[in-house]
Amino acid sequence: MFGRRVGLKPLERVVVVLLAGAGLQLAAVAQERAAPAAPPRVPDTMEARVAACTGCHGVAGRGVENVYFPRLAGKPAGYLYHQLVAFRDGRRKYVPMNYLLAYLPDAYLRQMADWFAVQDPPPLAVAAAPAPAPAALVVDGHRIATGGVPGRRIPACTACHGVDLAGREPGIPGLLGLRADYVSAQLGAWRYGVRTALAPDCMQVISSSLTEPEVAAVSAYLASLPVSKTRPAKAGPAKLPLACGSQAHTAGGRP
């Protein structure tokens, strides 16, 4: 067809047909390359949905070396749920968390809390502090954490967080594997109203009753404890030394 119109010889016709076919093939390849690739399919699992959390808090919430991103795995679901709600509602202030959770409903936050509560990855070894705390400070912190300050009606940490400080179901977190800077920052946040809990806010009462040296001592002692995979103690009939609003809202094992 091409040869008859322009007077091409048979061999020349074959060349023209081959070139035309090659041109069509190249055009098809170019069009295919220009087409946008289909986006990868993200698995519809809770593990995939909490990727924004594990980016800071480590795989399965195991914790990271950054002192201000603590371990989430294995903490009581009720405690985790209340912290998520507190960040969402502004009772606990940290801008990235406030924005991340701003529009998530209660039911979804419960699912997130339940997922992290059952995770059990190996604990991340806590990096040693740049300068070890003085031995006398750690000893003083042990005294307060295990015996409280009876003269000022400050209860021991172990009275609520468990004898081994691994937490208590359904809503009291463990205190193991935390750096002194983090513990001190959280106690300070309660003292000055940056972090609050449901009324009555027992941690605000305790934190504001401690002196600065006592906060430093408790923080140093807790940071000296070895990291472990101890799970929170089961809820029992033992009465807590103070009425805590967040515990009243976790009665019965559900947030």
Q: From CA 74, how far away is CA 80, in angstroms rounded?
A: 10
Q: From CA 255, how far away is CA 247, in angstroms rounded?
A: 9
- The amino acid at residue 199 is A
Average pLDDT for runs of 10 along the chain of length 255: 51 48 55 67 84 92 87 93 95 93 96 95 72 90 97 95 92 90 94 88 94 96 84 83 77 48
Q: From CA 112, how far away is CA 7, in angstroms rounded?
A: 77
- The amino acid at residue 197 is A
Q: What is the pLDDT of residue 198?
A: 85
What is the distance in angstroms between the CA of the first residue and the CA of the last residue of the chain? 80
Token pair of 27 as six digits? 């055009």
This model's pTM is above 0.85: no
Residue 95's alpha-carbon distances to 89, 130, 173, 194, in angstroms, are: 12, 28, 22, 12
* Residue 90 contacts residue 102 (beta carbons within 8 Å): no
Q: What is the pLDDT of residue 9?
A: 60
Q: What is the pLDDT of residue 214?
A: 97
Q: What is the pLDDT of residue 30?
A: 60
Angle between helices 212-224 and 180-191 (to 10 degrees): 140
Q: What is the pLDDT of residue 4?
A: 47
Q: From CA 205, how far away is CA 149, in angstroms rounded?
A: 13
Q: For the chain, list the domains and their CATH numbers.
A: 2-34 (no CATH), 46-118 (1.10.760.10), 135-253 (1.10.760.10)
